[in-house]
Structure 1
Amino acid sequence: MSAHPDETVPLSLTGHCPCGQVWDNVSVQTTVSRQVHDLPELQLRVTEYRADVKVCPTCHHRQQAPFPGHVSGQVQYGPRIHGLAVYLNAAHFIPLERTSEILEALCGVRPSDGTIALNLHLAAAKLEDFETQLKAALQKQPVLHADETGSKVNGQLQWMHVVSCAQLTLYGHHPKRGFAALDAMNVLPQYQGILVHDAWSTYFKLPAQHALCGAHLLRELRGLAEHHAQGWAGELRDALRRVYHEQKQGILTATARTAFEHQFDALLEKALQVNPEAPPVPGRRGRTRQSLGRNLALRCRQHREAVLRFLHDERVPFDNNQAERDVRLWCVKRKVSGGFRSAEGGQNFARIRSYISTLGKQGLNVWYGLVSVFTGNVLMPDFSV
């Protein structure tokens, strides 16, 4: 129950006691309270600013009092309407038309799709300084996570990339999936820390130290063991799971870790033996396609240090769940409200989502943050985490 209710409604006891005593003549001994928590009636509140206009009696110069900086038009919506429109569309992926319908039902006003799109554009422009500070903060993190997923623009495939940690999130929308997108985000090409990812080849072009997602590896090993009868894959999966759980529980000894690494190397050699190199196909140019088992074994051997980095650096997690959780919201967005009408719309959305995600991770109120964007005093997260 609230300690400070906004309204108190007294309920007087009247009538008679069964013995005949009139309750109006009896003093109140105590009260019993019940509370109803509800929203106030929603209606648009109109504030009119009236600027004085004066004419100098000496030189006849006409002067008008200035309007506040946020009052730029004769009639306009205020920061809460703007913030609510962006909150519905960017935080909860409600399409533009349905956002208009909700605003009309709640507030009695129905901004057009173009107005809401303009709100998103203005919010992105006002968050430019936030994004600059966010990128600088990510550069200082000892461990980052990265992932990407498809995103449609007018039906054409583009890509949404994420670079994140536990307290910060940066999204980037780009026509390309490759290095050009990472370069445009301007974080990973200069990053010297540890980057956790899913072994996509482009990430290995970066100067970071690499750590590969163990969850991805477990899924691949399970597929090889169950669907391709690769016994070594089942053995390696069991050994990897065992050493991971022992490390998580704090009972993994140095001897056990060394024994696992020897087993890891031996099972990879076994994998290459049971998956020999496929001979070249006569008349076909380029590399010969190899089996799934051989490709996985070669990758694990080539990037052995990245696969096993979690065993030697307590800062490195076993999986890339951080980035996968952050990028999953874009899959929800595709399902709920589809793609974007323009590349600029995707970029604006990515910047706003970076702000929303970062505020949420730090326990800050996203609604207050989005309203602050339109008041000119942007609520900033803590970049020193």
Structure 2
Amino acid sequence: MSKIFRIFASVNQQVGIEKYLEEFRSEISRQNKTIKDLTDDVARLNRRVEAQNVEIKTLKSENKDLRERLLKYEDPQPPKNSGNSSVPPSKERMGDEIKRRTSSLREKNGKKPGGQPGHEGNTRMMSAQPDETENIQPNYCRECGRELSDIEGVEEYREECVGVRIIPVIKRLRFLNKTCTCGCCNRVEYTKRKNPVYLSSEIRALVVYLNIVMCMPYNRIKSFLLDVMHIDISEGSIRNFIEDAGDKAGKICDRIASELVKSPVAGADESGFYVNGKFNWAWILQNPKLTLTWIAKGRGAKEMDDRFGPNALENTVLTTDRHSAYFTMNVKGHQICIAHLLRNLNYLNDLDKNQNWSSRLQELLRKAVHWRNTNPETVADTSTWTESLDKLLNENLDKFKKPFRQIRNSLRKLKDHVFHFLKDPRVPSHNNASEGGIRILKVKQKRSGGFRSQIGAEDFMAIHSVADTAKKNDFSRWDTILALV
């Protein structure tokens, strides 16, 4: 019996182990499923966290942008434009440009627009010898209907119409030879052209004039000549005409440069522009009779020495803006542009309307300019003017915004150059002539998008220098360009 019980116990023990193993396997399966579910949950949560991080980054960026946009309402900063800063008109906001074009920056004087009482008007006068005469007369009698062609008319009124013929004139040049009675055959010297049909100097000059003076790009010049004059000309020919004129103008520019360094007073300015997509600098040095523009690598004082030679302007008073490079040059004296200062002070007026420091400084500068305008030949003692300027510059501006202190600190360094125009009647109070002489580059860039090549830019500078010099000396820019082609 004991043996049977032992066998039975052994069987029960084996059955219990199998059952335990089955339960263990089931538990492991459940644990694996739980782990997989947890892994999926972690992956899903990671994806959600990643998406939320992206959303947070986006919201932070939007928040920063909105804060910057809101800042101008919380702490209003007036926009800078050509009326209150040195920002060029080409970079103004559309609203500022419209305002500038539709309203004058001059202060109202109470006078009506147009000619004032006592102003001597100008009108066109009739020519002594008109090119054509056309008789406007009746051809039939209004009563009986008789033809009146055999009756000579009596003049009772005349007027003149000024017009122009916009048609090409084709002139054929025939080179003839003549044989003398002595038997000698006489010929006029000539050189056979590759193409015996060519464009006249007037058309070549018109092409150069439209490109340099009117700043028209090549394709518009081509369209203009084709539409108006029925002359088809390639852009390559246009470039050749400008290049030929530029070579001749370059030699004249050397003579202009040699005369400019002798000038007791001159104005200078510099401006950036693009050549084939690359940024360059253009410089100008001018006086009331001469203009010279050229291309430079930068806007440092070295560029002036490279063009004219070291110490070439040591006997010249230079009128400029407050660009620091000018005040490292070896010149006789400086005059900073008062017009620049007045524009910058306009910005301070808009920046803080509760202060009057900038308006008082403007008033002082305007009084000085007015005094010079009413006393064009008088040499002034500037001590009183300088004393008034010192009082304004020594006022405490700590409670004002940063631009106030920037202008004050700049004027403290340059105060000896503010009223030079009062000591020397030859020195202008502004640098408008230099700005106007170099502004043509901005017009060119706006209309044509810049220059295609360095040589093209150099030709433009040279021809503009010669044409502007001719204009200052009361010569026609058209006649000047006609002489270059």
Give the TM-score of the pair, scaled to structure 2: 0.64
For 1:95-114, what aligned pairs fall within 5 Å after superposition? 95-114=217-236
Which residue does the alignment assign to 2:321? 198
For CA contacts below 8 A with separation 6 or more, give which structure has more relative contact order: 1
Q: Answer yes or no: is 1:4 the counterpart of 2:115.
A: no
Distance of 1:237 and 1:4 partners within structure 2: 55
Q: CA deviation at 1:153?
A: 0.8
For 1:103-182, what aligned pairs fall within 5 Å after superposition? 103-182=225-304
For 1:349-364, what aligned pairs fall within 5 Å after superposition? 349-364=460-475
Distance of 2:345 and 2:153 partners within structure 1: 75
Which residue does the alignment assign to 2:398? 274
Q: CA deviation at 1:81?
A: 1.8
CA offset digits 1:271-303 (Å, max 9, x no partner): 5x7389xxxxxxxxxxxxx94434433332222
The 1:274/1:106 distance shift into structure 2, 3 A limit, reads: same
- Given the alignment, which residue of 220, 223, 237 partners 2:347? 223
Distance of 1:73 and 1:26 partners within structure 2: 55
- Given the alignment, which residue of 358, 363, 388 partners 1:238? 363
Which residue does the alignment assign to 1:59? none
For 1:33-52, what aligned pairs fall within 5 Å after superposition? 33-50=158-175
Query: Where do 5+ consecutive residues of structure 2 fail to align?
Result: 1-125, 180-185
CA offset digits 1:312-338 (Å, max 9, x no partner): 211122211111221222221111112
The 1:53/1:199 distance shift into structure 2, 3 A limit, reads: farther
Q: Answer yes or no: is 1:82 the counterpart of 2:204.
A: yes
Distance of 2:176 and 2:295 partners within structure 1: 43
Deviates more, 1:2-11 or 1:333-342: 2-11
Distance of 2:261 and 2:380 partners within structure 1: 35
Distance of 1:25 and 1:80 partners within structure 2: 44
For 1:196-345, what aligned pairs fall within 5 Å after superposition? 196-208=319-331, 209-227=333-351, 231-250=356-375, 258-271=383-396, 274=398, 291-345=402-456
Query: Where do 5+ consecutive residues of structure 1 fail to align?
Result: 55-62, 277-289, 375-385
Distance of 2:267 and 2:303 partners within structure 1: 16
CA offset digits 1:106-136 (Å, max 9, x no partner): 3332222121111111101112331122112
Which residue does the alignment assign to 1:286? none
- Whether the 8 Å contact between 2:379 and 2:425 is mirrored in structure 1 is no
The 1:275/1:207 distance shift into structure 2, 3 A limit, reads: farther
What code does the residue aligned with 1:274 have?
Answer: D
Distance of 1:87 and 1:372 partners within structure 2: 12
Q: CA deviation at 1:104?
A: 1.7
- SS of the equivalent of 1:224 reads helix
Q: CA deviation at 1:170?
A: 1.0
CA offset digits 1:153-205 (Å, max 9, x no partner): 11221122111122221111233222343234327851121110002111112
Distance of 1:189 and 1:200 partners within structure 2: 19
- After superposition, the CA RMSD in angstroms is 3.5
- SS of the equivalent of 1:364 reads coil
CA offset digits 1:77-106 (Å, max 9, x no partner): 221221111111111011101111111223
CA offset digits 1:246-290 (Å, max 9, x no partner): 342349x9999543321211222225x7389xxxxxxxxxxxxx9
Distance of 1:32 and 1:291 partners within structure 2: 71
Distance of 1:230 and 1:12 partners within structure 2: 73
Distance of 1:216 and 1:129 partners within structure 2: 34
Distance of 1:255 and 1:110 partners within structure 2: 61
- Whether the 8 Å contact between 2:381 and 2:422 is mirrored in structure 1 is no
Q: Look at both structures and tell me which one has the larger radius of gyration over its CA atoms.
A: 2
CA offset digits 1:31-51 (Å, max 9, x no partner): 533333222251241434547
CA offset digits 1:316-370 (Å, max 9, x no partner): 2221111122122222111111200111111110001111212222221222221
- Whether the 8 Å contact between 2:249 and 2:463 is mirrored in structure 1 is yes
Deviates more, 1:152-161 or 1:361-370: 361-370
Give the TM-score of the pair, scaled to structure 1: 0.79
- SS of the equivalent of 2:395 reads helix
- Whether the 8 Å contact between 1:120 and 1:348 is mirrored in structure 2 is yes
- Whether the 8 Å contact between 2:166 and 2:228 is mirrored in structure 1 is no
What code does the residue aligned with 1:362 have?
Answer: N
Distance of 1:350 and 1:65 partners within structure 2: 39
Deviates more, 1:71-80 or 1:133-142: 71-80
